[in-house]
Amino acid sequence: MTKTFMFNALKEAIDEEMSRDNKVFILGEDVGHYGGSYKVTKGLHAKYGDLRVLDTPIAENSFTGMAIGSAITGLRPIIEGMNMSFLLLAFNQISNNAGMLHYTSGGNFSIPIVIRGPGGIGRQLGAEHSQRLEAYFQAIPGLKIVACSTPYNAKGLLKSAIRDNNPVIFFEHVLLYNLQEELPEQEYLLPLDKAEVVRSGRDVTILTYSRMRHHVLQAVDILVQEGYDPEVIDLISLKPLDIQTITQSVCKTHKVIIVEECMKTASIGSEIVAQLNEYMFDEMDAPVTRLSSRDTPTPYNGVLEQATIVHPHDIMKSVKEIV
CA distances for 106 relative to 36, 101, 225, angstroms: 37, 8, 56
Contacts of 297 (CB under 8 A, 6+ apart): 127
DSSP state of 241: B
**Nearest one of 253, 269, 161, 143 to 208, comparing CA atoms:** 269
Active-site entry in 60, 80, 134, 260:
60
- CA pair distance 208, 203, nearest whole angstrom: 16
- CA pair distance 103, 81, nearest whole angstrom: 25
Residues pairing with 25 in the sheet: 77
Whether residue 60 lies in the annotated active site: yes
Active-site entry in 45, 102, 129, 214:
129
Q: How many secondary structure helices (H) and strands (E) does the chain include?
A: 12, 14
Whether residue 278 lies in the annotated active site: no
Annotated catalytic residues are 60, 129
